[in-house]
Amino acid sequence: MSKNTATPGHSRMSARTRRLAVAGAATLASAALAFTLVPGSSQTTSEAVSAAPVVFGQEQVKDVKASVTGQLAGATVKAEADAAKKKAADVAAAKKAAAKKKAAKERKAKEAASRSAKRAALKKATTKTYGNNLDGWIREALDIMGNKGIPGSYDGLYRNIMRESTGNPNAINGWDVNAQNGTPSIGLLQVIQPTFNAYHVSGTSTSIYDPVANITAAANYAADKYGSIDNVNGAY
């Protein structure tokens, strides 16, 4: 009679249990293998994809070249357009500056001409005119005398002129002692040449027959000898 050799408290693994264990291990191994083959799920998959060579066709290369060439051409055209635009702006700015400078120059020239015209008009307006007659000669002589500090009045000049020459600027005394000595009295106030030369007033004519020059020289002489032509009441 055979004996049961199993240890009390222990049971021998049955065949069914062993088969279940083997099946479970196989199932786990299959699952692990399947996980590694899922795209994007592990490093192994990525390395496999990366290692695969990338191949482009001729048409694709042509398309890329054409695209790059087009982009370069577009950039060149844009750069040329920008340069042309800047050049045009610079030329326009230069023309504007030149026009502004020219306008300023013309404005200054006009202003200068206007000032010159105003000065000429003012000078003409302030320039005193005198009649070519006894009244005008006396008044002009008085203005010159006033500027030179020579005393005398209209009445003093007129009175002595009328006595000496009756207002004739070409009058000549050919009979008095001066005439006898070869230096006749000449002009409105009957001045001899040496006296006229000595007392001639600068700015007037050097001709003894000139009415204004004759009056001012005689008045200058009278001021030196008598204090003023107004103080002369006879031959002097």
CATH code of 172's domain: 1.10.530.10
Phi-psi bin for 40: left (phi > 0), alpha (psi -120 to 50), beta? left
- What band does 214 get if pLDDT is binned at 50, 70 and 90? very high
| Overall number of domains in the chain | 2
Q: Are residues 185 and 210 in the same domain?
A: yes
52: enclosing H helix or E strand: none
The DSSP-derived string for 159-202 is HHHHHHTTT-TT-EE-SSHHHHTT--EETTTTB-HHHHHHHPPT
- pLDDT for 169-184, tens place per residue? 999 999 999 999 999 9
**Dist CA 211 CA 236 (whole Å):** 18
- pLDDT for 43-57, tens place per residue? 444 444 444 555 556
Q: Are residues 170 and 113 in the same domain?
A: no
Residue 162 has pLDDT above 50, yes or no: yes
- pLDDT for position 31: 46
Range of the domain at 84: 71-125
Domain assignment present for 112: yes
pTM (predicted TM-score): 0.50
Domain assignment present for 28: no
Q: Exposure of 64 by Cβ count < 10 A (0-12 exposed, 13-18 middle, 19+ buried)?
A: exposed
Domain assignment present for 63: no
Beta strands in 49-171, from DSSP E residues, in sequence order: none
Residue 20 has pLDDT above 50, yes or no: no
Q: Are residues 166 and 140 in the same domain?
A: yes
- With H, G, I as helix, E, B as strand and everything else as coil, classify residue 191: strand
Q: Are residues 227 and 145 in the same domain?
A: yes
